Amino acid sequence: MKRVVLTLFILASMIGSASCAWADDLAMADPTPVITHTILGAWVKSVSWADPVKGTKSEIIIKDPAGKIINIYVASTTTLWDADAKAIMEDKILPRSHVNVIYLTSPEGINIGKSIKILK
């Protein structure tokens, strides 16, 4: 009887450790990559800031030097800088501001701002 219990315990341990190793492999699998973009010398076309009452999110629309229009979602983690590299509030970014923008494009195609710096 003791041998049967010991054998079952060993089998259960091996199966448990194998399934844990498989779960770790899944957790370490490379997710779909996020693409980072940098635009130097863009112009802000329009700005809309979040309004919880209306359910809108913060967004800026920029025009890059090549003339391409890009919508960028401004998340709570997006850093906003002035020309002297000091943090600023979002109300300092106005239409027709000259900016450098670093943003990420998600696998779904959403552009999420990482850093926005106003130029002089």
Residue 44: CB atoms within 10 Å: 20
Q: How confident is the model at residue 22 (pLDDT cuts 50, 70, 90)?
A: very low
pLDDT digits (tens, 9 = 90+) for 63-109: 999 999 999 999 999 999 999 989 999 889 999 999 999 999 988 89
Contact in structure between 80 and 88 (CB atoms under 8 Å): yes
Give which of 91, 58, 88 is closest to 73, Cα–Cα: 58
Q: For a pLDDT cut of 90, what percent of the chain falls above it?
A: 58
Q: How confident is the model at residue 15 (pLDDT cuts 50, 70, 90)?
A: low
Is a pLDDT exceeding 70 seen at residue 13?
Answer: no
